[in-house]
Amino acid sequence: MLFFSFETWQITLFSLAVGLASTLLILPFGIAFAWLFARKDWPLKSVVETLVLLPLVMPPVSTGLILLKIFGRRSPLGQWLYERGIEIVFNWKGVLIAMSVMSFPLLVRSVRTSFAEVNPRLEQIAATLGASPLRIFFVITIPLAYKGIVAGALLAFSRALGEFGATILLAGNIPGETQTLSLAIYSFVQLGKDPEAFTLLGITVALAFIFVWCSEWLLRSSKKA
């Protein structure tokens, strides 16, 4: 397989597309959770916070196994979806869900930090001037925290690109359909095809470097501001 082969580009573009979709999918939820964690106090908050962060430290394969149990045809949810013609397992939707779940904690963590760094007095002042909570959120909080949000999204996107364990269990390793960069590297390593593996590895390293670097740069500049 050459660097410019169709297969290489298909795998790379597929990974980027699903990774991007997963980041966009989790962005609103991530922002909502991060705000609830940073600004509100509610019962069992620390428990929920810990649960959300769990995929970050759990072995990805075990997260994948849980997802397979949840979305498999033998579970109530999987059955319900199946009857409506929606299949998650062995499908690009499985890749999307695996990537989303695995990258969610990273997004929430960085966005929570950036919300916490927004001075609450600015929000209080806006409130005394008669702005609604929703208006305060979109006009004060989000603009002040946007660098952290973008940095978190970039980090989550990079994590999604590197996802392996949960993806191979939930979505399978189907060339041309659910095979991402990480899964393709695994396949080539299993087959002893080192040159092909290193080609994809090079692409992965380059992409990860760019996105993590941008993310770090944004976080540093947001701290300075």
Partner 1 sequence: MRLKLFVTILIVIGFVGSAKADEILVSAAASLTDALKEIGAAYQTKTKHIVRFNFGPSSGLARQIDEGAPADMFFSADLPQMDDLDKKGRLEPGTRKNLLSNQLVIVVPADSKLAIALPKDLLKPEVKRIALAEPPVPVGTYSSKYLEAEGLWDKVKPKVVPVQDVRATLASVESGNVEAGFVYKTDAAVSKKVKIVYEVPIDKGPTIVYPVAIVKESKRKEAARDFLNYVQSPVAKDAFKKYGFVVLE
CA gap 85, 63 in Å, rounded: 24
Cβ–Cβ contacts within 10 Å for residue 77, how many?
12
- Told to check if 86 binds partner 1 by CB under 8 A, we report no
Least distance to partner 1, CB of residue 12, Å: 19
Q: Which residue has the tokens 């922002």?
A: 31
Residue 49 or residue 87: which is nearer to partner 1 going by CB? 87
Q: Does 81 bind partner 1 (CB under 8 A)?
A: no
CA distance 83 to 87: 9
Nearest to 15, CA basis, from 153, 154, 164: 164
Q: How far does the chain reach from its first CA to its final CA, in angstroms? A: 47
Query: Can you tell me whether residue 42 is helix, strand or coil?
Result: coil
Can you tell me which residue has the tokens 């939707």?
93
Residue 195 binds to partner 1 (criterion: CB under 8 A) = no
Q: Judged by CB under 8 A, does residue 117 bind partner 1?
A: no
Which member of 11, 26, 52, 89 binds partner 1 (CB under 8 A)?
Answer: 89
Could you list the beta-strand ranges (E) of 89-166: none
Size of interface with partner 1, in residues (CB under 8 A): 26
Binding flag, residue 192, partner 1 (CB under 8 A): yes
Residue 69 within binding range of partner 1, rule CB under 8 A: yes
Residues from 8 through 67 that contact partner 1 (CB under 8 A) = 65
Q: Which residues of this protein are in contact with partner 1, per CB under 8 A?
A: 65, 68-69, 72-75, 78, 87, 89-90, 168-169, 172-178, 187, 189-193
